[in-house]
């Protein structure tokens, strides 16, 4: 079995990274580049590949929005303000309609979110080929003058929080592939939309600067991504399953045993914020969540040690939860 995404980065690309120039050793959601003594630029790249991150049969404007929003989520995780982006587009055969129609819809989706999040396109490249379509965006944001939120700042006993609800995207993908008839139409639509169109928590991330001790976005599953945060902070984590915020649709799917617990914590594509903060700041975290109009839930705490332990309602370890999404 070959190396996964993270092992490839560690083996081949981390030796090339310049910590002095702001790479953060390729351990964070973005790099932080100093412009002068008073300002820094936060930069991140993310790629979506047809057949892995999207089907190709979706509405094209949604594909465009998802490709931009996954990058916006990286800005949110660092507490940065999105500014501009570049786009590299490798176009494979179009499934529906003509290439002109595809591009018209794609641009429509980008324009919608450019206006929503106040970002602009400043360059890029386009090519056509016989392979699957690949969308790669590099986004640049402005760092908060107070600093950025990285993954390595957590301390023992810090609370662990997540925004929104967990597992919706994975559940949405499940019912897209394997339809069910017992969920209400509204719940099915909600879960599918959570897969097609993530909701980057940009305002929440900005508000957490100076409050959160560590943060990242959840793209590869709660357990795997929290494991990355633990590794960066040289700590372990306890997560309480009963405390995890779940949507009505996910709860029903779990009750009917259509999906397992492991899918909720490992499914990926949540694009919610995962962060830690000292216990003494609980009131401030609650106030920030309310002001940002985002539900934030405390799900556990950091401990000495390593790795992530998921506990049931009796505080017993839940085994066989597997690992997160792999971009292989």
Per-residue model confidence (pLDDT) at position 327: 45
pLDDT at 48 over 60: yes
Q: Read off the CATH number of the domain in which 286 is found.
A: 3.90.650.10
Q: Are 77 and 215 in contact (CB under 8 A)?
A: yes
**Which strands form 134-142's sheet, in the order they lie side by side?**
31-34, 40-49, 134-142, 81-91, 120-128
* Residue at 320 is within a domain: no
Average pLDDT over residues 23-32: 81
Please tell me whether residues 199 and 115 are part of one structural domain: no
Per-residue model confidence (pLDDT) at position 323: 56
Please tell me whether residues 188 and 133 are part of one structural domain: no
**Residue-wise pLDDT tens digits, 72-97:** 999 999 999 999 999 999 999 998 88
Tokens standing for residue 219: 């793209």
Q: Say what percent of the chain tops pLDDT 90.
A: 84
Q: Which of 12-21, 64-73, 99-108, 150-159 has the lowest mean pLDDT?
A: 12-21
Query: Checking DSSP bridges between strand 159-163 and strand 273-277, what pairing results, if any?
Result: antiparallel
C-alpha to C-alpha distances, 57 to 32, 51, 187, 197, 241, nearest whole angstrom = 36, 10, 22, 14, 35
Taking the CA atoms of residue 46, residue 149, residue 65 and residue 117 in that order, the dihedral angle to the nearest 10 degrees is -140
The total number of structural domains that make up the chain:
2
pLDDT at 245 over 60: yes
Please tell me whether residues 79 and 188 are part of one structural domain: no
* Residue at 257 is within a domain: yes
* Residue at 152 is within a domain: no
Question: How far is the C-alpha of 118 from the C-alpha of 263, rounded, in Å?
Answer: 34
Q: Which of 52-56, 100-104, 109-113, 278-282 has the lowest mean pLDDT?
A: 52-56
pLDDT at 104 over 50: yes
**Residue that terminates a domain, selected from 142, 174, 192:** 142
Please tell me whether residues 129 and 226 are part of one structural domain: no
**Residue-wise pLDDT tens digits, 290-309:** 999 999 999 999 999 999 99
* Residue at 187 is within a domain: yes
Please tell me whether residues 59 and 137 are part of one structural domain: yes
Per-residue model confidence (pLDDT) at position 11: 84
**Residue-wise pLDDT tens digits, 131-172:** 899 999 999 999 999 999 999 999 999 999 999 999 999 999
**Residue-wise pLDDT tens digits, 179-225:** 999 999 999 999 999 999 999 999 999 999 999 999 999 999 999 99
Average pLDDT over residues 252-276: 96
* Residue at 67 is within a domain: yes
**Residue that terminates a domain, selected from 142, 176, 207:** 142
* Residue at 46 is within a domain: yes
Please tell me whether residues 165 and 194 are part of one structural domain: yes
* Residue at 292 is within a domain: yes
Per-residue model confidence (pLDDT) at position 56: 85
C-alpha 260: how far from its chain's center?
21
Range of the domain at 179: 159-311
pLDDT at 324 over 60: no
Please tell me whether residues 123 and 207 are part of one structural domain: no
* Residue at 325 is within a domain: no
C-alpha to C-alpha distances, 261 to 28, 223, 233, 282, nearest whole angstrom = 27, 12, 26, 28
Q: Read off the CATH number of the domain in which 25 is found.
A: 3.30.1330.10
pLDDT at 326 over 60: no
Per-residue model confidence (pLDDT) at position 320: 61
């Amino acid at each position: 079995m070959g190396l996964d995404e993270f092992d490839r980065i560690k083996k081949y690309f981390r030796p090339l990274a310049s910590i002095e120039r702001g790479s953060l050793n390729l351990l964070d959601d973005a790099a932080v580049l100093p412009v002068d003594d008073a300002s820094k630029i936060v930069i991140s790249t993310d790629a979506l590949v047809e057949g892995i991150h999207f089907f190709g049969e979706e509405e094209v404007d949604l594909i465009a929005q998802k490709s931009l929003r996954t990058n916006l989520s990286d800005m949110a995780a660092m507490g940065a303000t999105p500014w501009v982006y570049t786009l590299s587009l490798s176009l494979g055969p179009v499934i529906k309609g003509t290439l002109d129609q595809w591009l018209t819809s794609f641009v429509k989706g980008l324009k919608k979110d450019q206006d929503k999040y106040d970002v602009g396109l400043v360059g890029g490249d386009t090519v056509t080929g016989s392979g699957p379509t690949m969308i790669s965006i590099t986004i640049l944001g402005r760092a908060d003058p107070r600093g950025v939120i990285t993954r390595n700042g957590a301390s023992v006993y810090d609370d662990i929080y997540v925004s929104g609800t967990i597992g919706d995207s994975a559940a949405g993908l499940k019912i897209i592939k394997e339809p069910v008839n017992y969920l209400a139409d509204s719940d099915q639509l909600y879960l599918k939309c959570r897969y097609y169109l993530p909701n980057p928590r940009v305002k929440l991330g900005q508000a957490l600067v100076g409050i959160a001790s560590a943060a990242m976005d959840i793209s590869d599953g709660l357990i795997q991504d929290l494991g990355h945060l633990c590794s960066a902070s040289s700590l372990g984590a306890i997560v309480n399953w009963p405390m995890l915020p779940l949507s009505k649709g996910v709860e029903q799917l779990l009750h009917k045993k259509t999906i397992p617990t492991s899918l909720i914590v490992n499914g990926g594509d949540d694009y919610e914020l995962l962060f830690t903060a000292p216990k003494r700041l609980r009131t401030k975290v609650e106030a920030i969540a309310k002001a940002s109009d985002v539900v934030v839930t405390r799900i556990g705490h950091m401990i000495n040690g390593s790795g992530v332990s998921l506990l049931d309602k009796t505080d017993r370890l839940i085994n066989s939860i597997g690992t997160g999404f792999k971009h292989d």
